[in-house]
Structures are given as C-alpha cells and as structure tokens.
Chains A and B, each alone.
Chain A
Amino acid sequence: EDKVVQSPLSLVVHEGDTVTLNCSYEVTNFRSLLWYKQEKKAPTFLFMLTSSGIEKKSGRLSSILDKKELFSILNITATQTGDSAIYLCAVLIFGNEKLTFGTGTRLTIIP
C-alpha cells in the first residue's frame, strides 16, 4: 500500500524563525512529489518535484527531493504569520495519476 508520512504533525514557531517540514514516502511507480499549502479552503499548489537533488525555490519557500532516501523537505525562512497553514505533501504515481496525500503538518507562526 502506498504511504506518505509527514513530520512533525504540528509545529509552533515565532515569526522570523526558519522551519523545515519533512515528507517521506513508500510508493510503487513514483512519478513526482508535490507540496501544497492549505489555509481555510482547498490546497494551493507550491511545488512539484520530479528530479532528485534539484532545489525549487519561490520567495522564502524552497524544497528538494531525495529519491534515493525517499523523502522531501520544505523550508520556509523568515516565517510570517501568513505562513500559518497546513502543509500537505502528496505523491503522484505513474499510470493512474492519483495523488496520495500525507497527514499534513500544521504550522502556526506566533507574532
């Protein structure tokens, strides 16, 4: 059975801190790993990672994939209160296009 596990489940930090969120996976026929941010409604897309070792960056957010060790990290630097959300990691499988989501990490930024 395909499995995606995120850690920590929740994290509370002060504004300005840097955080690292983890996502590990055990799936057959891996295609890509995606990161989403979910506030009150549906998830919004952050990154799609397909190749190992290539960092993707968008402002204060960055992410990288390690296909040998089967994990990805999402880094957020200089956190702001607007970064408070649930961050979801999902794995896309070859052949059926389905996304398998992890449990999510609830990030809370204290002003």
Chain B
Amino acid sequence: GAVVSQHPSWVICKSGTSVKIECRSLDFQATTMFWYRQFPKQSLMLMATSNEGSKATYEQGVEKDKFLINHASLTLSTLTVTSAHPEDSSFYICSARSVLGTYEQYFGPGTRLTVT
C-alpha cells in the first residue's frame, strides 16, 4: 500500500517551453502533497506544499509564477515548470500524506528534467 507515482519519469525539453509533471497517490487519498527538488549530490529541498482544493504554499525563494502547482483532487497534484531554463534541470520528487492523519510522507519515484 501507499504507492505514489510520477509521470513522466524523465523528460527533456527545450529552453523556453513548459513541462508538466504529475504526481498521483495510487491507493490512498492525499490531503497534502509536497514538491521537492534535488540537485546532484545534494539533499531534497522543499519547493512547495499543496493542499487539495486550495492554493499551494511556496517556500522562500521559489517563484510561484514559474512553478505552477495544481492539486485538483485527493489523488493528483501537478507541477508545471513554465518557460524552462537549463538551470531548472533537476530531479523533481513529490510526496503525499494520507488523509488518515499519519504524518508519514510517501515519496514518488521522481522525475528527471533536463532543459537544453
């Protein structure tokens, strides 16, 4: 149980284009989903917290107009990287917290984005 999927698992896009990454909780409902970014040989940095049906809360230094987050249902959150630049190339990971109230976060397998 507690499986989180991400799609796509990897994507290459050209500079200036937008990319959408999906995060789904497959066998549970998630009130809250989190989006992280991980650069090579670095730890996970939280980008934003999204709650179903409300606006995402972004961490300091993360541009909300560049990283659009939508949490339309209890099983799906999307992250759209708009007008991507090579410095946006990174490993993006989502996690989900169950509606059942435990504080454990279940991580998706991650999406590797390369912007050329």
CB within 8 Å of B: which residues of A? 31-32, 34, 36, 41-45, 48, 88, 90, 92, 96-104
B107–A43 CB distance below 8 A: yes
Tell me if B34 is interfacial: C-beta within 8 Å of chain A.
Answer: yes
Please encode chain B, from 92 to 108, with 1 for each CB lying within 8 Å of some chain A CB and 0 for all others: 01010100000111111
Q: How far is the CA of A54 from the CA of B102 in the complex (A)?
A: 19
Contact segment of B14-22, B42-50, B68-76, B81-89: B42-50
B43–A42 CB distance below 8 A: no
Q: Which residues of A contact B103 (CB under 8 A)?
A: 31-32, 48, 92, 97
A98–B43 CB distance below 8 A: no
For A41, A92, A100, which residue has the most chain B Cβ atoms within 10 angstroms?
A41
Given known contacts A88-B44, A103-B43, is B106 in contact with A45 (CB within 8 Å)? yes
Q: Which residues of B contact A101 (CB under 8 A)?
A: 43-46
Q: List 23 A-B contacts (CB under 8 A).
A: A31-B103, A32-B103, A36-B107, A41-B109, A42-B93, A42-B107, A42-B108, A42-B110, A43-B107, A45-B104, A45-B106, A45-B107, A48-B104, A88-B44, A92-B103, A96-B49, A97-B97, A98-B46, A99-B34, A100-B46, A101-B45, A102-B43, A104-B43
